[in-house]
Amino acid sequence: MADNPALCRHGTWPSSSLVDGRFERLLRAETDALEHLAVRLFEAETEAALARGGSELPSRTGPSSPIEGALGRDGRMWDAECQSLRETRENAFKCLRETVVTLEEELGLRPTRKGRRDRFGRLVILSSESGSS
């Protein structure tokens, strides 16, 4: 039984993902992906701050702000990349937070949430347009 990875070393219960390493590999992969995301975001923010170029949107009065004028075409491209990467980061954190909250609820470490939830665990507020007349 000792050489069967599906059983614990005592042979009395199936091994958990904590014991066989799957949990650690998943956490390491998630950490690596978030670190990669952080590096890409830092690079995009740096490029957005340092980029120069002609304005992409012609205007009679010039740029709407000094920062927009300094960004130019390349800066706007990098700024859009920053916004996209920040959104990706927030979605990753929301999914991780939902996983933790769900696990805590299932283990009885936190009270169960009431009401219908979206995929990020936020309460879905239902409103009725048709109603009183």
pTM, rounded to two decimals: 0.60
Any bridge partners for residue 117, and if so which? 123
- H-state helical runs in the chain: 17-20, 22-50, 66-106
More confident residue, 106 or 76: 106
Is the predicted pLDDT of residue 55 greater than 50, yes or no?
Answer: no
What is the spatial distance between Cα 31 and Cα 33, in angstroms, rounded to a whole number?
5
Average pLDDT of the residues in 75-86: 88
pLDDT of res. 89: 97
Contact 49, 42 (CB under 8 A): no
Is the predicted pLDDT of residue 22 greater than 50, yes or no?
Answer: yes
